[in-house]
Amino acid sequence: MRALSKFAHAFDLGEHVALWHALRMKPVFLEKSVYEQFREGECTEELETELVEKKILLSYEAEDDEVIARARKRAPKPDVNLAYFILSEHCNLACKYCFVGSDTCGQGNSANKDMTSEVAEQALLVFARQLEHSETDYTEYEPNIIFFGGEPLLKFDVLEYVARRVKELSDEHPVFKNTNLAVITNGTLLNEERILSLNSLGVAVSISIDGFTEQANSMRVDKTGKETFERVISVLETYKHLGVEPPSLSVTLTEHTIEDLSSMVKLIQRYGIRGFGYNVLLKREDEMGGQEYYEAASQFIIDSFLALREQGVYEDRIMRKLNAFAHSRIHFSDCGATSGGQILFSPDGRIGICQGLMADSENYVTDIWDESFLANEHPFWKEWASLIPIQSDECLSCEALGICGGGCPVNARLVNPERGLHCIDERSCVHSKKTLEFLLRDLYALIRSNTKA
């Protein structure tokens, strides 16, 4: 029998075993007895042909090297299509887990902590220049602007200004024609008037909330320590009452959140939420984190997927992996910065790449008045574009290589400071491996039920 690919893995599914190539991603389900014979080096011609076709068995010695070389060639080049506008480094809340921008944390370090419309205007022109110098077809891959903070709604006037200017500038800069706008907010500064304004400007809203109970939201407090849950719920009620497109939700998986799936499902159903994303907490020395939490959070994401898929509501993080799995297409990056596709504008006009490093001077390479700056030619963007699993030799033996997309290098460095940004984010490992196993089992169950029917 031919040699086994180094990207091949076996999953025990009970009566069957799934053979899986981590980059080709087309599983072959074998009865246990057939698998045992296969392990002894025996298999039928028909099976051998199928396994060669799916690259689980090698056609020739150098095939694995060629497969990884081709995959690396297809990996994203540093081509910016996402801009973070940090409208303010101030925040009206003091969430206990916040890693950016709040006054309490004091982690933003801009000279001016609020963006002005002059800075925003110049940042827009810098973003247009990046898009215009890229080879990406922006009619197909729509550019995105995300308003972020601190709390971006503290500079609502600048947000409205940028949203209007994107439209006005689109004759001169056609790359802005298909540009999507979104704001990530704690929601507490939204009211009827602002909701309608954002709606008419085409700005999608993502609100942070960690569940449908005060307890699940107990980390989300204001500066006096008061919980904010009721305020955010009243904003969701306003959306419902106005009958406008509901916001998406950004849910940080706290210990309390992952204990209560049913109230999360209720929250999504009650407000007709169509899009939401889960965030697994960053590793912090003073509180939860580590393997046990990562396992529980990953299981929660899977359970929530099962509970909501019948209603056609899908969570972003698992959908990216599911898409890679279903279409046998490598998911290269789970983060805009690690595909080199992101640019960040600080309130005082500095240019960086990652919103998790807002307080870090290493994040900023130049500013918006540098007329020669092009991210896709800059070594910093090239380095960040290499922080993905497909470029890491450490990931090559991993079964989840094709669906993973990696995690957050900032979190990886928090856990392993001595290894810097180039190491693996444990959160993403647990999540990716668990999700792959779930997807294989789910597909296997579907095939079996179809076969019985």
Touching ligand SF4, residues 66-85 (CB under 6 A): none
152 binds ligand SF4 (CB under 6 A): no
Q: Which of 177, 231, 433, 441 binds ligand SF4 (CB under 6 A)?
A: 433
428 binds ligand SF4 (CB under 6 A): yes
Q: Which of 429, 435, 440, 444 binds ligand SF4 (CB under 6 A)?
A: 429
Q: How far is the CB of 102 from ligand SF4 (least distance, A)?
A: 16
Determine the interface stretch with ligand SF4 among 88-96, 254-262, 313-321, 349-357 (rule: CB under 6 A): 349-357
| DSSP string covering 34-51 | HHHHHHTT---HHHHHHH
Beta strand pairing call for 8-12 and 366-367: unpaired
Q: Which of 146, 183, 424, 439 binds ligand SF4 (CB under 6 A)?
A: 424
Residues that bind ligand SF4 (rule: CB under 6 A) add up to a total of 22
Indicate the residue type of 160: E
Q: Which of 409, 427, 434, 438 binds ligand SF4 (CB under 6 A)?
A: 409
Q: Which of 162, 209, 324, 335 binds ligand SF4 (CB under 6 A)?
A: 335
Which three-class secondary structure state does DSSP give residue 99? coil
Task: Pick the closer one to ligand SF4 by CB: 35 or 438.
Answer: 438
Determine the interface stretch with ligand SF4 among 115-123, 270-278, 313-321, 353-361 (rule: CB under 6 A): 353-361
Long-range contacts of 255-258 (CB under 8 A, 24+ apart): 255/288, 255/293, 256/210, 256/211, 256/213, 256/215, 256/216, 256/218, 257/210, 257/211, 257/216, 257/300, 258/296, 258/297, 258/299, 258/300
Counting runs of H as helices and runs of E as strands, what totals does the chain give? 15, 13
Q: Which of 134, 355, 376, 391 binds ligand SF4 (CB under 6 A)?
A: 355
Q: Which of 404, 427, 434, 438 binds ligand SF4 (CB under 6 A)?
A: 404
| Tokens describing residue 375 | 């991210």
Task: Pick the closer one to ligand SF4 by CB: 90 or 433.
Answer: 433
Which three-class secondary structure state does DSSP give residue 27? coil
354 binds ligand SF4 (CB under 6 A): yes
Determine the interface stretch with ligand SF4 among 131-139, 252-260, 270-278, 406-414 (rule: CB under 6 A): 406-414
432 binds ligand SF4 (CB under 6 A): yes
Ramachandran area for residue 384 (φ above 0: left; ψ -120 to 50: alpha; else beta) = alpha
Q: Which of 18, 58, 145, 410 binds ligand SF4 (CB under 6 A)?
A: 410
Q: What is the dihedral of CA 106, 112, 118, 124, to 10 degrees?
A: -40
Position with the least CB separation from ligand SF4:
356
356 binds ligand SF4 (CB under 6 A): yes
User: Crossing angle of helices 316-327/426-452, nearest 10°?
Assistant: 60
Determine the interface stretch with ligand SF4 among 110-118, 146-154, 229-237, 421-429 (rule: CB under 6 A): 421-429
- With tokens 């699993």, the residue in question is 389
User: Crossing angle of helices 192-201/229-242, nearest 10°?
Assistant: 60
Q: How far is the CB of 299 from ligand SF4 (least distance, A)?
A: 16
Q: How far is the CB of 291 from ligand SF4 (least distance, A)?
A: 13
Q: How far is the CB of 449 from ligand SF4 (least distance, A)?
A: 29
Closest CA to 83 of 286, 337, 453: 337
Measure the CA–CA gap between 357 and 310, rounded to whole angstroms: 38
Task: Pick the closer one to ligand SF4 by CB: 268 or 400.
Answer: 400
Q: Are 384 and 337 in contact (CB under 8 A)?
A: yes
Q: In this structure, is the dihedral angle defined by the CA atoms of residues 112, 115, 118 and 123, taken in order, positive or negative?
A: positive
Task: Pick the closer one to ligand SF4 by CB: 54 or 317.
Answer: 317
- How many residues does the structure list for the chain? 453
Q: Which of 207, 389, 391, 413 binds ligand SF4 (CB under 6 A)?
A: 389
- With tokens 């957050």, the residue in question is 408
Tell me which residues touch ligand SF4 (CB under 6 A).
335-338, 354-356, 389, 395, 398, 400-401, 404, 406, 408-410, 424, 428-429, 432-433
